[in-house]
């Protein structure tokens, strides 16, 4: 007997893509100070609520952006999954930031999800 493939609706595929994009942008936000430290050869200016540059501090810093209860969840569910492509995520985040600084808005379906989380 042949198994039927489950069909995935377009709406759920878009939702999954949006969540993955959001998670990669959060990972980029965590990674950015570490990469700046290497590039600048000194500790970059950190957000006021971050006492020292560490993965735990940076995960705690992005908690409020996500509405997740524990920074351990961020490290497990977002950081470690994103690590193989962190260079791409940070480059994308920098490119989006630069475009927005020049008044070019990037359409994001994920915006509505961020407002809900």
Is 86:28 a contact under the CB 8 Å cutoff? yes
The overall pTM is greater than 0.85: no
Number of domains in the chain: 1
Q: If you average pLDDT over residues 12-18, what whole number do you get?
A: 84
Q: Pick 30 or 17 by higher pLDDT.
A: 30
Which among 22, 24, 38 has a CA at the least distance from the CA of 87?
24
40 occurs within a structural domain: yes
Report which of 1, 59, 71 is spatially closest to residue 30, judged by C-alpha positions. Answer: 59
pLDDT at residue 46 in the model: 94
pLDDT for res 113: 37
Tell me the per-residue pLDDT of 53-112, one tens digit each, with 9 for 90 and over. 999 999 999 987 777 777 788 999 899 999 999 999 999 999 989 998 999 887 765 444
- Structure confidence at residue 114 as a pLDDT band (50, 70, 90): very low
pLDDT of residue 110: 45
Q: Distance of alpha carbon 116 from its chain centroid, rounded?
A: 16
pLDDT of residue 92: 93
The answer as to whether 10 is a domain residue is no
Domain extent at residue 62: 18-116
Q: How far apart are CA 63 and CA 117, in angstroms?
A: 11
Q: Is residue 8 part of a domain?
A: no
Q: In this structure, is residue 5 part of a structural domain? A: no
> 112 lies in a domain?
yes
Looking at the domain assignment, is residue 50 inside a domain? Answer: yes
Q: 3-state SS string over 46-100?
A: CCCCCCCCCHHHHHHHHHHHHCCCCHHHHHHHHHHHHHHHHHHHHHHHHHHHHHH
- Does residue 57 belong to any structural domain of this protein? yes
């Amino acid at each position: 007997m042949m198994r039927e493939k489950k069909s995935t609706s377009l709406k759920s595929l878009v939702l999954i893509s949006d969540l993955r994009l959001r998670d990669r942008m959060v990972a980029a936000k965590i990674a950015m100070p570490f990469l700046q430290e290497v590039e600048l050869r000194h500790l970059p200016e950190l957000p006021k609520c971050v006492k020292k540059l560490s993965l735990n501090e940076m995960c705690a810093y992005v908690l409020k952006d996500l509405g997740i209860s524990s920074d351990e969840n961020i490290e497990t569910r977002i950081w470690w999954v994103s690590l193989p492509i962190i260079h791409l995520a940070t480059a994308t985040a920098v490119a989006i930031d630069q475009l927005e600084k020049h008044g070019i808005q990037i359409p994001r379906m994920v915006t509505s999800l961020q407002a809900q989380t």
